[in-house]
Amino acid sequence: MLALLVALPILAFLAILFGAPARLTAIAAAAINLVLGLGSMFCWREKIWEFSLPVLEKPAIHLAFGYIDGMSLVMVALSVIVTLAAVMSGKAPAGSEKLYYGSSLLISAGALGAFASTDLFFFYAFHELALIPTFLMIGILGRGDRRGIAWKITIYLGLGSLVLLAGLVWLASLTGTFDLREMQNAAGTIGPAAQKGIAALLIVGFGTLVSLFPFHSWAAPAYASAPAPTAMLHAGVLKKFGLYGMLRIAIPLVPEGLQAWLTPLLVLLLGNILWVGLVTISQKRLDTLLGNSSVMHMGYIFLAIAALIAAPDSNTLALPAAVVLMFAHGVSIALLFGLADRIERSTGSLDLADMGGLAKSAPGMAFLFGIAAMASIGLPGLANFSGEVLVFLSAFENYVPANGLGPVQIACILAIWGVVISAVYMLRAYRNIFQGPTVKSTENAADLTLADHIPAVLLITALLAVGCYPNLLLNLLKH
């Protein structure tokens, strides 16, 4: 059944290519996948979700899907939720419906394939598949210097993928298998020197794809230029591939190697939170502000990963913290990018200086954007709060007062200032756009229609469900 979940967006893409109505086909495929993906939460350990097809005998490579554990399931759930919201949120330019909706479906298929794959080769290959439509959407349908930005992310993510590939091939050669489950059984068999080298390649490779500081400068302009569904799917879902890879592959297989790089990793993640956070405050446009905000919040997830690296056998909070925050950030940033697109279509601008008083003409938009902004800040009752609290607690889980503060605890104390920074830029943006007197661009702006409300309500429901009852995800992560 997981194979069907991955294949359905690809089949829908082919149907669109041969003349099926683009928007309707994309929404239908995404809706079926939402039902299948969320339905699998009730029976995800059944054999019906497993699929394996031999592709190459030597080395043994299989097109294989399955839920390795609850983390795979949470990532699949995130993918199907954001995919439906993405294809319903945007509006394709006239004459570009096939490219617009077809590319969105391929990005979704690539993300689902990567999270559901149990074979290292296809884990990597599906992510690369998702990057191609991302480049096309930015290069052809993007805003501003779209071609320059498309080339920039091609170079950044291409080089990052090559470094990652070198690390994965090295790892597969030492474990003797491409099967992710069998690779985990080989944990502890790799020597310290090899672990250190592989860990460096994986941190740089996965880190570039996640926009870890200082490999982050591709992300904000790419999201600002991308059409709405591309920004929602890439920032919300596809960027989690690197974090998932750190948790799925790097930490179980090269724990000692990662510990050798723990202090540099802590410095880099603080670069995401503090340096990029301050850069975010200075942004003048909503789209670049959201792009930088997305980069900033990756630092918190890396903080949980660092806590797990520091104590892989005894820190029981770090992995759930990272996964819950990955889900929360994915949903909330998708909601923000979707609403930003709707604001631009209503007002013709995303410049904060050109806005004001939009709440008077578009109260529905103001209400939903307010919830999304509060989620991003970490308001209690919304999923981001659960994730961030777990991250901070995980940093102190192994703290012994008699031993003083360790590097992870010091990094956590500094990272907490990021909460203040995010409140400053997000509340300032909300005030500039929705409060105060109306201006020419906002006085007659149209509010959200019923169709606009559906994807936003879907995403907000997910944020509230996990925010009010985080055990919804935490129970899955026990297995």
Per-residue pLDDT at 44: 87
* Average pLDDT across the chain, whole number: 93
* Contact of 100 with 90, CB cutoff 8 Å: yes
| pLDDT tens string 395-444 | 999 888 888 899 999 999 999 999 999 999 999 999 999 998 888 888 88
Predicted confidence (pLDDT) at residue 1 exceeds the cutoff of 90: no
Listed residue (13, 2, 84) closest to 36, CA to CA: 2
Q: Any idea which of 9-23, 133-147, 159-173, 275-289 has the lowest mean pLDDT?
A: 133-147
Measured CA to CA in angstroms, residue 419 lies from 207, 314, 363, 384, 424 at distances of 22, 27, 27, 11, 9
| pLDDT tens string 256-270 | 999 999 999 999 999
- Tell which wins on pLDDT, 329 or 188: 329
| Coil/strand/helix, residue 213 | coil
| pLDDT tens string 141-169 | 988 889 999 999 989 999 999 999 999 99
Tokens, residue 143: 């805003």
Question: Element (H or E) spanning 225, and its range?
Answer: helix 219-225
| pLDDT tens string 191-221 | 999 999 999 999 999 999 999 999 998 999 9
Listed residue (263, 254, 432) closest to 355, CA to CA: 432
Any idea what the Cα angle at residue 101 is, between residues 15 and 125, rounded to 5°? 80
Max avg pLDDT among 146-155, 173-182, 327-336: 327-336
Predicted confidence (pLDDT) at residue 187 exceeds the cutoff of 80: no
DSSP states along 351-380: BGGG---HHHH-HHHHHHHHHHHHHHHT-T
Listed residue (265, 234, 244, 409) closest to 326, CA to CA: 244
Instruction: Extract long-range pairs of 393-400: CB within 8 Å, 24+ residues apart.
Output: 393/317, 393/321, 394/304, 394/307, 394/308, 394/315, 394/317, 394/318, 394/321, 395/303, 395/304, 395/306, 395/307, 397/307, 397/311, 397/314, 397/315, 397/316, 397/317, 397/318, 398/310, 398/311, 398/314, 398/315
Per-residue pLDDT at 444: 83
| pLDDT tens string 75-86 | 999 999 999 999
